[in-house]
Amino acid sequence: SGGGPASGGDAAESTPVAPASHRTRGEYVAWLRRCLRVRTLAAGIVIAAAVATVVVWRGRATPRVPAAAHPACVSGPTTPGIDVSYFQQVIDWRRVYRAGIRFAFIRVSDGADNRDPMFSINWAEARHAGVARGAYQYFRPDQSALAQADLLIGAMRGRDGGADLPPVLDLEVTGGLPIDTVVQRARAWIDRVRSQLGVEPIVYTGGELWRTADASPLAHQPLWLAHYTTTCPIVPAAWPRWTFWQHTDHGAVPGIEGSVDLDVFAGTLGELRALR
């Protein structure tokens, strides 16, 4: 707002004009005093401006550093991993292993009809690279739970070396069904897979699905939690803790073109392998 010389006001004094030579000694002393006052005021303004500049500069020189995107919300060690599907295309699994990734969940299908075209290749190559493997299936509640379970069971049987990790029910959508129906069908899938493969399946899910619904019928299964955050993840009320945590879907790993989901296991590599 207008604060220039034309605006007037008491804050700015112009430099006094020197008195003519015929003025008295008293007038000359008064002139010197006015000069001193004006210069002192000007110096104060310059100093204040300099201080303000330093404050602004220091504020810009020390920006707030965002929290590092790494999981640090469990007491004890964690083991890094990824989950993949055909979206990641051809993966150099040896480079992935050298980058520190120690496990991978590999998609077998989307529902009962859409088999993942990269599953067999990823399954074999991950094993050759030394990456512990588990299979996951994107669950479609509006399709037959048993047909989906049988597809995964068939994919697991006869595979080289078997699975290193339990299979996963990927539960993200309701398919337009009531949540109680979704839970019943998910339980049918879990019971079928357990009875045929002799392992306890893992449930992958996020908190949004259970904001107003009861997940307790699934809470006996190990939880693979999806929550993209740089702070501690929020676990759905039915589970006391997470076993796996997918903390971002925009990770970067050597050997994979583009982004990939990053996960951690709450434990050591030995504890991870003991899940099987």
Q: 3-class DSSP state for residue 258?
A: coil
Distance CA 48, CA 194 (A): 75
The CA angle 149-155-159, to the nearest 5 degrees, is 140
* Contact of 181 with 139, CB cutoff 8 Å: no
Which candidate, 95, 106, 80, places its Cα nearest to that of 269?
80
Bridge pairing between strands 103-110 and 114-115: antiparallel
For residue 68, CA distances in Å to 6, 50, 63 come to 53, 35, 15
* 172 part of the active site: yes
* Contact of 12 with 5, CB cutoff 8 Å: yes
Q: Catalytic residue, from 110, 150, 164, 172: name it.
A: 172
Distance CA 254, CA 247 (A): 18
* 142 part of the active site: no
Q: Catalytic residue, from 83, 116, 125, 261: name it.
A: 83
Active site residues: 83, 172
